[in-house]
């Protein structure tokens, strides 16, 4: 019998786990606007470079971003722009859920 959970399901779960963190969502939003180096992200986020690098590694492993070396710096950019459509959908759902919560109070 063939298992119901395929490699494709595993990859989808990996992507969802990768974006399921506020810092990584912020990083995706910033990278969507322009290529950005880890030093700029570190300053924006207010964390140390190792923490930001770990977040970037998670996003890269999920296939959402890629990296390009320019001199001594690494610049990250969005590899899969359609993720922004998904994030827009999540934003709409969050707003609707907030509205639903207000109605029940």
Mean pLDDT, 10 residues at a time, over the chain (105 residues)?
80 93 95 92 95 96 94 92 90 88 65
Q: Does domain 7-79 have CATH number 1.10.10.10?
A: yes
Q: Which residues of 42-60 are buried (b: 16+ CB within 10 A; e: fewer)?
A: beebeeeeeebeebbebbe
Copy the structure tokens of residue 17: 């786990």
Is residue 96 classed as helix, strand or coil in its secondary structure? helix
Cα Rg of the chain, angstroms: 16
Q: Please give the model's pTM, rounded to 2 decimal places.
A: 0.83
The answer to whether the beta carbons of residues 74 and 36 sit under 8 Å apart is no
Residue in 4, 47, 6, 11 with CA at minimum distance from that of residue 26 = 47
Predicted pLDDT of residue 4: 81
């Amino acid at each position: 019998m063939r298992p119901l959970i395929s490699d494709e399901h595993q990859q989808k779960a990996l992507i969802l786990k990768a974006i399921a963190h506020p810092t990584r969502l912020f990083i995706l939003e910033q990278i969507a606007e322009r290529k950005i180096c880890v030093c700029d992200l570190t300053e924006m986020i207010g964390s140390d470079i190792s923490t930001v690098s770990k977040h970037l590694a998670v996003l890269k492993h999920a296939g959402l971003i890629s990296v390009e070396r320019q001199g001594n710096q690494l610049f990250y950019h969005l590899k899969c722009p359609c993720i922004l459509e998904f994030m827009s959908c999540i934003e709409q759902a969050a707003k609707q859920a907030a509205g639903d919560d207000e109605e029940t109070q």
